[in-house]
Amino acid sequence: MISAYAQGKDPASSLGTYFERPGRTILENLLTEVPDPTEMDAVTRYGGGLGHFERRYFSGRRFIKTKHGSRMDFLSGQLFPVHVLVPLPSQIYPVIMRKTMRWRDLLGYFRTWSSLYNFHQRFPEDLERIDERFQEDLTVIPDASLYSEVEEVPINVDVTSGDIAVRFWKDLREEVEKHGGKYGVDEPVSVEWPIVLLLAKKL
């Protein structure tokens, strides 16, 4: 759901069209557009430069092939374009970037996205919308005992509005609720980010 919200093309329910391109596209495609520096013209023609190039995907075993030639991230259900090559098993490493935060803090993270800023520049009236789901959020008194599971000092995040970020955040919580998960505004939630590293040795 997060991938669909971040990368989707529906301007009413996702922010994909509001990220700066092509930079965001290069990121979404796992840096595959970044050329192998050992194949750069300056290296092949004149020698020297960079060598021993390696791509490492700290994503866990996320990728599977589908019969239609696409690649699917089976943790998020995200389909990757055919041109995004499935990493070799030797290139795949466990996820190393993860964080435990409250649901409230996850909303705070969603609010840092540049695409959200661009969306609100285009649709300032969205900031005036109201979403009345999870009315109990408005009366929650933060429970200090929950903070022991959170990695950093929690901060207050406004959960009372109904803009696109809050609507998606509540969609996400509703889905977790359907599957029996904890969705209270101050309940902890674990978040993972896949990372791709391009490693090269200077000759």
pLDDT of residue 170: 96
Residue 83: alpha-carbon gap to chain centroid: 20
pLDDT of residue 112: 94
Amino acid symbol at 56: R
Per-residue pLDDT of the chain (203 residues; tens, 9 = 90+): 988 899 888 888 899 999 999 999 888 888 888 888 777 777 777 777 777 889 998 887 665 555 455 555 554 444 455 556 677 788 888 889 999 999 999 999 999 999 999 999 999 999 999 999 999 888 776 655 555 555 554 556 778 889 999 999 999 999 999 999 999 998 999 998 888 999 988 87
pLDDT of residue 59: 80
Helix (H) or strand (E) holding 100: strand 97-102
72 phi and psi, to 5 degrees?
-120, 135
Residue with tokens 């490493």: 93
Amino acid symbol at 94: P
Q: Do residues 202 and 52 make contact, with C-beta atoms less than 8 angstroms apart?
A: no
pLDDT of residue 5: 93
Q: What is the model's pTM?
A: 0.79
Q: Which residues contact 58 (CB under 8 A, 6 or more apart)?
A: 93, 94, 95, 96, 97, 194, 195, 196, 197
**Domain map of the chain by residue range?**
2-96+194-202, 99-191
**Cα 49 to Cα 200: distance, rounded to the nearest angstrom:** 10
pLDDT of residue 140: 73
